[in-house]
Amino acid sequence: MTTTLETVWHNRIFYLFVLPFAVLTILFGVWPIVLSIMVSFTASATALRPNPTYVGFANYAAIFADPAFLASLLRTFLYTAVAVVVNIGFAFGMAVLIDSPLLRRGGLLLRLALFLPVVTPDVAGYVVWRWLYDRSFGAINALFDTVGLPAFAGLTTGPTAMISLLIAELWHHAGFYMLIFHANLAIRDRALEEAAHVDGATAWQRWRYVILPQLKPAFIINTVYALIQFLKTFTVVVVMTKGGPNEATNFVSYYAYQLFDQGRYGEATAMASVLFLIVIGVSLTIYRLGDREAAR
């Protein structure tokens, strides 16, 4: 019976291999998060001092009593839910189109057009979108004007700001989800489909019973990725709306970030911890649900 120490020594070469990875993960991944969580238990004014005052869960109580935070949380959930559905739906639709025989040539071009924004630096892309939306100088409204459509309020009213952010983020992210769907579609078992077709199944039935079940893993993984991505929506708000207009796009990550400026470190990190738990919780749930169904 070997002890842990003997196992480690016997496999020391593997520990050597994993060492740089472990060091980086701990130093720049785990340690900052631990620090952050620790700060969430301190009084903000003392957070950066060598001997901060610990106040237990006071910061957490404070943020849940803050109507602005609760509103922000609600907003974040709403945006995330819509964004995930729209992105996955759009990405799936595009993947199906590209894969279908309807688009024999040009599939590659469309894939490139959809994926290019994924590798474009998000800052640059959003700066352009910001100006496309501008009510007075933007290309979108200029186009609407030419065609005779009413002006699009873009980033100037609450609901339209959310829509505008959604579109810009879709532009940046959907290509990735599309790629995953497309890859999974490409490796699906066509023999099954042919068999179903021979058996007299309609297109709809083929989709429902043969193709979609094979895509379940893709749907799950995309949903998890999308949830993690959109719950943390940040860069697009920084570049395009800075939380406005009138707090309409002030999502949790941005709200907490603003608190840093005001020196309310304890509350900001408490919010971060809450968001962190939500992300973990939601991702795990979806993953488990998916696994359970797959094991049916």
Interface of this chain with another protein, residues 14 to 43, rule: CB under 8 A: 14-15, 17-18, 20-22, 24-33, 35-36, 39
**Which lies closer to another protein via its Cβ, residue 81 or residue 108?**
108
User: CA dihedral in degrees (132, 134, 139, 145; nearest 10)?
Assistant: 150
Number of residues that bind another protein (CB under 8 A): 124
What percent helix, strand, coil does the chain show, rounded to 5?
A: 75, 0, 20
- Beta-ladder partners of 54: 42
Q: 17 or 209, CB closer to another protein?
A: 17
In the complex, what is the shortest distance from the CB of residue 288 to another protein, in angstroms, rounded to a whole number? 15
User: Is 221 one of the binding residues for another protein (CB under 8 A)?
Assistant: yes
Judged by CB under 8 A, the stretch of 47-55, 59-67, 78-86 that binds another protein is 47-55
Identify the CA nearest to 161 among candidates 238, 243, 85. 243
Q: Is 78 in the site for another protein (CB under 8 A)?
A: no
**Strand stretches in the chain, DSSP E:** none
Residues 114-133 that bind another protein (CB under 8 A): 114-125, 127-129, 131-132
Stretch touching another protein by CB under 8 A, among 44-52, 53-61, 79-87: 44-52
Which residues have a Cβ under 8 Å from the Cβ of 241 and sit 6 or more positions away? 155, 161, 165, 248, 249
Residue 229 interacts with another protein (CB under 8 A)? no
> In 3-state terms, what secondary structure has residue 249?
coil
